[in-house]
Amino acid sequence: MTVQVTTHLNFDGQAREALAFYAAVFGGEPTLVTYGELAGVTDPEQARKIIWGQVASEGGFRIMAYDVQPERPWHPGENAFYVSLRGSSPDEITAYWAGLGVGATVLQPLGPSAWSPLYGMLKDRFGVTWVVDVAPV
């Protein structure tokens, strides 16, 4: 079983550019998935935006990013990041979810998603938003 914690940056249309920048600085290649590819969004502007992206370098640098959905609030410095907790074991992730969930507000219940056997989002009692999932195989 393994677990990783990664900073997950949130943007309003700049995720692609930001990930390219971080790849140029730290190495690695951006991995980009658009709303059009995964969520079937047909609005051309939204379809091109990033629903999930990551840069992982051989040196150990890792960062995730996405473009916030239009219905979610986003302003520079507000809702600017999430903490991504990703593991390989559903049991381990479920236990972490339960621990983080004490006094939390659940934003997306833990359950299957289009990209993961388990995915959920919550805001912990300190106001930190966590995205929790099992790494797809």
Q: Domain segments of the chain: what residues? A: 3-134
Phi-psi region of 47 (alpha: psi -120 to 50; beta: other; left: phi over 0): alpha
> pTM of the full predicted structure?
0.76
Residue with tokens 């990783």: 4
pLDDT in tens, 7-59: 999 999 999 999 999 999 889 999 999 999 988 888 899 999 999 999 999 98
Element (H, E) at 104: none
The 3-state DSSP class for residue 78 equals strand
Class of domain 3-134: alpha beta
CA–CA distances in Å: residue 130 to residues 24, 33, 36, 63: 27, 20, 24, 14
Chain-centre distance of CA 57, in angstroms? 17
